[in-house]
């Protein structure tokens, strides 16, 4: 884990949260599990916090449900009815299905660790079905709208510094042209600025790196921003800067997208992340294969990328209904 923060080491806080909710033997194994997912699986501090919170919540419920802090023996003796009682309690607290699914995923991760380490099998967790959640499809922009958002000319007339307008255009061009997340675009260092196009190495979730394409138009937008930027940005500092010279905040990018929504008449679903969705959907529509798109997006699972096939199919059906004489 990274160094100690003002409010404490995130790893130690996560361990303490779980240990406070269980018997000593469970707390000991929880520390080992959290160390494993933090260092071996390289989950982010936020994911680590969420997982520890979910497991602590499950153990706290069991303390009330069983009458004492659960031990490893208690976990092994759980019945499916005990897990269903936990889910029912969470539903009564109006917890949404997606959050319940994440909670189960966290507790099952801990249970798999215990079994793998020979510390007992929590069979009840595997015997209960995961709550079903409505599957919502990504909402990409049309190719025309996505290009307009990333076009510096679309910002003509805005009463803001030219370098700020160029910066916003460059960031949004990266999100659409290279399929980046906001964090990935804002994590690019000055020395790695792709001013000549080609490819760029980005660091994604779990500190995993991947190569992404940089189109000439995107490289030109970045070069324009650099030429106008009033700050002397060092090679090891983030490329994109805020108006006071510090690293650019994701919120500023979101606000820039909100302004573009108003200027271009786009719906509220036109967010910075929708540009990443647009990148994938438009590649698929042009014949890109799913494996390649998975690599470009940095998805760990092909199933995550496959949602874009549904988006593409929906677009085809919509085009058919709009154009075919018998569909009217």
Where in the sequence numbering do the catalytic residues fall?
Answer: 181, 205, 273, 276, 299, 308
User: Whole-angstrom Cα distance, residue 328 to residue 325?
Assistant: 6
Rounded (10°) angle between helices 80-92 and 45-66: 110
Q: Note every long-range contact of 237-241, with CB atoms under 8 Å and residues 24 or more positions apart, other chains counting.
A: 237/189, 237/190, 238/186, 238/187, 238/188, 238/189, 238/190, 239/188, 239/189, 239/190, 239/192, 239/193, 240/167, 240/170, 240/171, 240/185, 240/186, 240/188, 241/167
Q: Which residues contact 107 (CB under 8 A, 6 or more apart)?
A: 54, 55, 58, 125
Positive or negative, the CA dihedral 272, 170, 152, 277 is negative
Query: Residue 33: how many CA atoms within 13 Å on its side-chain side?
Result: 30
Strand partners, 213: 199
* Residues belonging to the chain: 328
User: Whole-angstrom Cα distance, residue 160 to residue 203?
Assistant: 31
User: Whole-angstrom Cα distance, residue 316 to residue 182?
Assistant: 29
Q: Which residues contact 302 (CB under 8 A, 6 or more apart)?
A: 290, 291, 294
């Amino acid at each position: 884990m990274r160094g100690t923060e003002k409010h404490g080491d995130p790893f130690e806080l996560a361990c303490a949260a779980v240990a406070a909710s269980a018997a000593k033997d469970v707390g000991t194994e929880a520390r080992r599990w959290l160390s494993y997912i933090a260092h071996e699986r390289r989950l982010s501090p936020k994911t680590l916090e969420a997982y520890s919170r979910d497991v602590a919540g499950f153990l706290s419920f069991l303390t009330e449900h069983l009458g004492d802090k659960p031990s490893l023996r208690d976990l092994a003796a759980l019945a499916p009815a005990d897990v269903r009682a936990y889910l029912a309690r969470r539903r009564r607290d109006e917890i949404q299905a997606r959050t319940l699914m994440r909670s189960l995923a966290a507790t099952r991760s801990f249970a798999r660790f215990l079994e793998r380490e020979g510390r007992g099998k929590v069979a009840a967790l595997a015997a209960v079905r995961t709550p079903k959640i409505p599957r919502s499809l990504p909402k990409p922009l049309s190719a025309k709208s996505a290009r307009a958002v990333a076009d510096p000319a679309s910002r003509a007339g805005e009463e803001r510094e030219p370098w700020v307008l160029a910066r916003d255009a460059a960031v949004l061009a990266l999100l659409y042209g290279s399929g980046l997340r906001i964090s990935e675009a804002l994590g690019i260092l000055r020395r790695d600025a792709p001013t000549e196009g080609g490819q760029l190495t980005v660091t994604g979730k779990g500190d995993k790196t991947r190569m992404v394409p940089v189109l000439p138009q995107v490289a030109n937008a970045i070069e324009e921003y650099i030429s106008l930027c009033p700050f002397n940005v060092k090679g090891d500092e983030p490329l994109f800067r805020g108006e006071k010279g510090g690293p650019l905040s994701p919120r500023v990018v979101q606000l820039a997208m909100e302004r573009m929504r108003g200027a271009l008449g786009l719906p509220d679903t036109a967010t910075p992340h929708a540009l990443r969705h647009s990148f994938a959907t438009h590649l698929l529509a042009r014949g890109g294969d799913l494996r390649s798109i998975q690599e470009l997006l940095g998805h760990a699972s092909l199933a995550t990328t496959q949602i874009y096939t549904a988006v593409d199919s929906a677009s085809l059906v919509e085009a058919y209904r709009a154009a075919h004489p018998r569909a009217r």
